[in-house]
Amino acid sequence: MSLRRYAIALGAVVLASLLGLTVANGDVPYPDISRGKGATCVEDTDFMRRNHMKLLMHQRDDTMHKGIRSKQHSLKECIDCHAVPGSDSKPVTVNDPKHFCRACHDYAAVNIDCFQCHASRPSPKVLAEAQEK
C-alpha cells in the first residue's frame, strides 16, 4: 500500500471514530446502532434495514385508511423495543444523535419526519413496566 493510500485509510478510520461510527471489515464506516430489547426483531435484520420504511408506510395505510391496528410493524412497537438510554438512564428523544432511528438516518443523510407527530421514546407506562421487570 502506498504511503498516500495508507494516510487516507488512517484518516478515514480516525474520522469514523470521531463521528462515533464503526468500521466494518476495515473498509466502510457504519453507524453504531444499539440492539433492540427483544430476542429477535419482527423481521430479519437485513430485511428491516432495507424495507422498514415500506413496512411503516403499509402499517400507516392500514391504520389510517382501513382502521386496522396491529403491533407487527407499528412505529410505537419499534420505539418501545429500540429505546436507547441516555446518561440519566431514560430513553433519549429523536433530538439526541444516539436515538436508534437517528443513528442510521443521520449516517444516510435522510430526514426523519415521523416524530413531528409520533413520540420518539416509549410511553411512561412502557417505561414503568420495563423497570418492574
The pLDDT value given to residue 129? 76
Return the amino acid letter for 65. H
Could you list the residue range(s) of the whole structural domain that residue 78 is in? 44-132
The pLDDT value given to residue 10? 64
Residues 49 and 17 placed together within one structural domain of the fold: no
The pLDDT value given to residue 93? 95
Residues 15 and 52 placed together within one structural domain of the fold: no
The pLDDT value given to residue 29? 78
Asked, for residue 48, whether it belongs to a domain, the answer is yes
Q: How confident is the model at residue 7 (pLDDT cuts 50, 70, 90)?
A: low
Residues 51 and 89 placed together within one structural domain of the fold: yes
Q: DSSP states of the chain as a string?
A: --HHHHHHHHHHHHHHHHTTEEEETTTEEEE--PPPSSSS-SS-HHHHHHHHHHHHHHHHHHHHHH----STT-HHHHHHHS--B-TTSSBP-TTSTTSHHHHHHHHTT----GGGTS-SS--HHHHHHHHH-
Asked, for residue 116, whether it belongs to a domain, the answer is yes
CA 100 to chain centre: 3
pLDDT tens-digit readout, 59-109: 888 888 999 888 888 899 999 999 999 999 999 999 999 999 999 999 999
Residues 67 and 114 placed together within one structural domain of the fold: yes
Residues 82 and 122 placed together within one structural domain of the fold: yes
Q: Position of cell 463521528?
A: 19
pTM for this model (two decimals)? 0.69
Count how many residues are written for the chain: 133
Overall domain count for the chain: 2
Asked, for residue 91, whether it belongs to a domain, the answer is yes
Residues 79 and 102 placed together within one structural domain of the fold: yes
The pLDDT value given to residue 21? 54
Asked, for residue 39, whether it belongs to a domain, the answer is no
